[in-house]
Amino acid sequence: MAKTGADVLIETLIDWGVDIIFGFPGDGIDGIMESLRTHREQMRFLQVRHEESAAFMACAYAKYTGRLGVCLATSGPGGIHLLNGLYDAKMDTQPVLAITGHHYHDLIDTHAQQDVDLDRVFMDVAVYSTRVMGPEHVSNVTHMACRMALSRRGVAHINFPIDFQSMEVKKGHPSPRGKHQGNTETFARGAALPCKEDLRRAADVLNAGKKVAILAGAGALGATDELIAASEKLGAPIIKALLGKACVPDDDPHTTGGIGLLGTAPSQLAMEECDTLFMIGSSFPYMEFLPKPGQARGVQIDLDPARIALRYPVEIGLAGDSKRSLTELLPLLEYKQDRSFLKKAQDGMKEWWRSMEERGTRADKPMKPQVVAWELGKLLKEDAIVSCDSGTIATWWARQIKAKRGQKFSLSGTLATMANGLPYTMAAQVAYPKRQCVAFVGDGGFSMLMADFVTAVKYELPIKVVIIKNNVLGQIRWEQMVMLGNPEYGVELQPIDFAMFARACGAVGLTVTDPAKCSSVLEEALNVPGPALVEALVDPFEPPLPGKIKPEQALRFAESLARGQPMRMRIATTILEDKVKELV
């Protein structure tokens, strides 16, 4: 049978090693759906309930596997729904291909139905955005799109008018210069290595430092052993940006855990006291948590030379892959005899973990959210993949769940969107059917895309969802109070019985309110063979306190209380209790 334009698209993607597309049908992509039907043995189609989920899944699939993630949506509204997930991919530099439909090519730009210029709409989010101009055009642009997404680590977009999808592809090309089909699925990987001279200069700066701090991010995820070796030689604590949570396990004595608002006090102290900052694969955006410019000499490894010195002035930039660059650098580093900087960080971490354990084992009612994270962390398997959303939950996830070697962790780092946690977890489960895949999410974020929990039921993805239910957009409550000194407004959430919802979807749904039962309820859910959801009712007044509180934050907080913050007595006592517990 003759091939259609859509067949060429799907077969080209198969040649590129793609075996799953996340998407949602519509009349703008019926031709592509037909080709997916006829190629269903080689290419799976996973139907979501909201296109945004499909884009998040493509992004997470790329994050967790390093492979190209692909999503599909119809013309107009379908494509528009993809955008948030695609921005997540753009901002966390993940290779994603988005395919969208369009109506008949002769009606484009005539105020026809769903006449949205998606190739223009996607211009900002995509490194490559194109519209198919005829069935013979499909092969070239699909190859280009795959190559662009992978090489530029970003979003590529193909907009495909409906009539071209089902049109037969003629042999050869209609244009006089399109004689040869030179485009193949070949992808050339560079060595991604800095030059020798820069490595030498970087080693000189690092060797001269007396208090070196390492900041490692998502780009260092594959370089665990090399990071530890560098830390050992330099006597340098490894501070982890949020996306780099899994780059060094939390039980390793070389790391001080996270940084920033949801980071640890020893990380902050190391940043404040270091004389040399060595950044590895991180574009951690909160510059106020880095050393003051002039305080420390900077060295940075990044795959993208354009990101060198983006957040902190550096003397030497090493453009390359973290693992390979560190492998080359390590022999040039001298062992620092003075271990006091690392030792101080390690002592600080002993104290920090004691305090995390204390917060994670509190018997108070209502239950503290930290208890749920702490217990979950203890129960997770060695190969667990844990995805999180934005909110106070990210603080509990960052601090209270100890990353073990072999586990994977992610959330929406730079876009910091809500609602990605559930689709991220489903994508992880698709990529690794045998691993334990868990979403640790808030009630606000989960409810945004909760219909897609049924997608896990439909495809028998045995994901586990833990919802921290505080009936509030917790993060914003605290931000309104602490950043501007205002009483909270517009943040309460109408409660949903999520356990009942899970059961309505055909999955297991459990509720836990008592900290004494938290571990056993979580364990029960983790042991369910299929998808399961636990809603954990927690204290809505538990504040995500920063590792170190700044005086101006305390002042604004006091202001908000004085200006009529509801439940101010409850809040004041909760915070006071936390601070007192920190002091004793």
Residues at the interface with ligand TPP (CB under 6 A): 389-393, 416-418, 442-445, 468, 470, 472-476
Given the complex with ligand TPP, which of 296 and 418 has the nearer CB atom? 418
Token digits of residue 443: 């009630």
CB of 544 to ligand TPP, least distance (A): 8
CB of 425 to Mg ion, least distance (A): 18
Given the complex with ligand TPP, which of 329 and 422 has the nearer CB atom? 422
- Distance between CA atoms of residues 328 and 325, nearest Å: 5
With CB atoms as reference, the residue minimizing the distance to ligand TPP is 442
Given the complex with ligand TPP, which of 229 and 476 has the nearer CB atom? 476
Q: Which of ligand TPP, Mg ion, none is residue 416 near (CB under 5 to 8 Å by kind)?
A: ligand TPP
Query: Minimal CA–CA distance to 70: which of 21, 123, 19?
Result: 21
CB of 412 to ligand TPP, least distance (A): 8
Given the complex with ligand TPP, which of 31 and 445 has the nearer CB atom? 445
Q: Which of Mg ion, ligand TPP, none is residue 445 near (CB under 5 to 8 Å by kind)?
A: ligand TPP
Determine, following the binding rule CB under 5 A, whether residue 474 of this chain makes contact with Mg ion: yes
Query: Minimal CA–CA distance to 317: which of 307, 332, 327, 329?
Result: 307
Helix (H, G, I), strand (E, B) or coil at 239: strand
CB of 262 to ligand TPP, least distance (A): 11
Contacts of 150 (CB under 8 A, 6+ apart): 68, 95, 187
Judged by CB under 5 A, the stretch of 62-70, 225-233, 368-376, 473-481 that binds Mg ion is 473-481
What's phi and psi for 252, nearest 5 deg? -85, 135
Q: Which of ligand TPP, Mg ion, none is residue 360 near (CB under 5 to 8 Å by kind)?
A: none
CB of 527 to ligand TPP, least distance (A): 26
What's phi and psi for 517, nearest 5 deg? -100, -5
Helix (H, G, I), strand (E, B) or coil at 328: helix
CA 219-223-224 angle, 5° bins: 120
Given the complex with ligand TPP, which of 377 and 391 has the nearer CB atom? 391
CB of 56 to ligand TPP, least distance (A): 11
Name the pairing type of β-strands 276-280 and 212-216.
parallel
* Site size for Mg ion (CB under 5 A): 5
Please select the residue that binds Mg ion; options are 53, 470, 511, 565, rule is CB under 5 A: 470
Determine, following the binding rule CB under 5 A, whether residue 544 of this chain makes contact with Mg ion: no
Residue numbers 228-257 binding Mg ion by CB under 5 A: none
Given the complex with ligand TPP, which of 370 and 417 has the nearer CB atom? 417
Cα dihedral across residues 287, 56, 471, 532: positive or negative = negative
Q: Which of ligand TPP, Mg ion, none is residue 417 near (CB under 5 to 8 Å by kind)?
A: ligand TPP
Q: Which of ligand TPP, Mg ion, none is residue 390 near (CB under 5 to 8 Å by kind)?
A: ligand TPP
- Distance between CA atoms of residues 16 and 391, nearest Å: 37
Q: CB of 3 within 8 A of CB of 36?
A: no
Given the complex with ligand TPP, which of 213 and 438 has the nearer CB atom? 438
CB of 126 to Mg ion, least distance (A): 32
Given the complex with ligand TPP, which of 84 and 114 has the nearer CB atom? 84
Q: Which of Mg ion, ligand TPP, none is residue 156 near (CB under 5 to 8 Å by kind)?
A: none
**Across 373-523, where does the E strand assignment appear?**
385-388, 408-410, 437-442, 464-469, 508-512
Contacts of 551 (CB under 8 A, 6+ apart): none
Contacts of 417 (CB under 8 A, 6+ apart): 84, 87, 88, 390
Residue numbers 389-448 binding Mg ion by CB under 5 A: 442-444
CB of 503 to ligand TPP, least distance (A): 21
Q: Which of ligand TPP, Mg ion, none is residue 79 near (CB under 5 to 8 Å by kind)?
A: none
CB of 548 to ligand TPP, least distance (A): 21
Given the complex with Mg ion, which of 349 and 394 has the nearer CB atom? 394
With CB atoms as reference, the residue minimizing the distance to Mg ion is 442
**Across 163-315, where does the E strand assignment appear?**
212-216, 238-240, 255-258, 276-280, 297-302
Given the complex with ligand TPP, which of 38 and 471 has the nearer CB atom? 471
**Across 43-124, where does the E strand assignment appear?**
44-47, 69-73, 96-102
Given the complex with Mg ion, which of 194 and 444 has the nearer CB atom? 444
**3-class SS string, 297-327:** EEEEEECCHHHCCCCCCCCEEEECCHHHHHH
- Distance between CA atoms of residues 544 and 207, nearest Å: 37
- Distance between CA atoms of residues 238 and 233, nearest Å: 12
CB of 139 to Mg ion, least distance (A): 48
- Distance between CA atoms of residues 59 and 85, nearest Å: 7
CB of 46 to ligand TPP, least distance (A): 22
Q: CB of 34 within 8 A of CB of 74?
A: no
DSSP state, 486? P
CB of 183 to Mg ion, least distance (A): 48
Determine, following the binding rule CB under 5 A, whether residue 539 of this chain makes contact with Mg ion: no
Q: Which of Mg ion, ligand TPP, none is residue 418 near (CB under 5 to 8 Å by kind)?
A: ligand TPP
Per DSSP, the residues of 26-50 read -TTSHHHHHHHHHTTTTSEEEE-SS
CB of 213 to ligand TPP, least distance (A): 28
- Distance between CA atoms of residues 488 and 559, nearest Å: 12
Residues that bind Mg ion (CB under 5 A): 442-444, 470, 474
